[in-house]
Amino acid sequence: MAYIAPDKAAASCVACFAWGVLPGRYCRACYTFGQLHQVSECTCCHRLVPVKKSYCRLCWLQASLEAKDQVTILEPFLRQFSYQQLFFTNMHRQRSKGRGPRIGRAGRRGLRAQPVPSEPVTVPHSWEQLRLPLQTRRDYLRFERRRQADLTNPALIDARRIVASLAERCGWTRGVIRIVDRALVLLLSTHTPGDKIRFSDLFPALRARGLSVGRTVEVLIELGVLDDDRISVFETWLKRGLGDLSPGIHTDVEHWLRTLHDGGPRARPRSQATCWSYLRLARPALLAWQSATIISVRSPATTYSPSSTPFPALNAITR
């Protein structure tokens, strides 16, 4: 078929009268239909066009529309209708329906069953690979699937079984399953029993290949091989917000903020935004105390009363 220019005007197919942007005089479906069948007179519409079993493609489409995908034999419908339903191009491409039965020549047939991952076969051996007491980091960016992929790895087989279970529970599409499987092959082909996969190692490799990090991490957590070494946002903010305070003030204020964030015996946990707001209000007073050479400070909410606090910021917090 010819190339379709972006600015080409729409036209009607000379065989099925479908309206759209065509590569030539025929739409793509009629062009393929004409390559497979001989030109003859259609029994229904009496046109000289390529026919299949004495009927043209337009009549077959009309019979399929009348049958509404309920039967597999369309010949009775070809002899009943006396009109044609026109349509746009590319409206009758066969698409996979996903779940449910499909229509076949011999009747309805079910979807092809998905292969169930087999149980890993443990081969007995007389040697054991000793692990070095070193925390080495792995570079998954250099992984080459053709040369390094090991689809028989027991960890990979177990992970694929978990993926099948999660896909059934969460409704993952085939595209999502394929992406997660690619990520698992990358991470588990060289996996040995007892190893842990760090999040900081897998994240650059998956992000560089455009693979799903969240769903892959979910599978690794259920498999029990993930070492989540991500630094908490609260810890990073706490280190940055209290970095310029003296050690005496820093220790007590950090304890106060952690209790505020995590909760205590008589206090419920507060959100991170609340902790940020409290520290922003208390920071001018803390810096003023530090400049006044006050060494230690207790939590304003427990030690100082609002009436005796000389700083308006702490009065706003303790209310």
How do residues 85-139 score in pLDDT, each as one tens digit? 888 887 765 544 444 444 444 445 555 565 665 565 555 555 555 555 556 677 8
pLDDT at 190: 86
- 129 in Cβ contact with 150 (< 8 Å): no
The partner residues of 109 in beta bridges, in order of sequence, read 102
Tell me the C-alpha distance between 43 and 319, whole Å: 90
CA separation for the pair 18, 86 (Å, rounded): 6
Which residue positions in the chain have pLDDT lower than 50? 95-107, 294-316, 318-319
Q: Return the pLDDT at 112.
A: 57
Structure tokens given for 214:
């969240």
**β-strand partners of 40:** 49
pLDDT at 126: 59
Place of tokens 């910021």: 313
Angle formed by the axes of helices 213-223 and 199-208, to 10°?
Answer: 140
Q: What is the structure's pLDDT at 63?
A: 83
Q: For the stretch 215-229, what's the b/e string if a residue is b when 16 or more beta carbons lie within 10 angstroms of its beta carbon?
A: bbbbbbeebebbeee
The distance of Cα 307 from the centroid of its chain, to the nearest Å, equals 55
Q: What is the pLDDT of residue 134?
A: 57
pLDDT of residue 121: 54
Give residue 150's pLDDT. 87
CA distance linking residue 21 with residue 93, whole number of Å:
16
The answer to whether 83 touches 44, Cβ cutoff 8 Å, is no
- Residue 113 contacts by C-beta under 8 Å, 6 or more apart in sequence? none
- Report the predicted TM-score, pTM, of the whole model to 2 decimal places: 0.43
- Residue type at 66 in one-letter notation: E
pLDDT given for residue 4 in this prediction: 75
* pLDDT score recorded for residue 2: 58
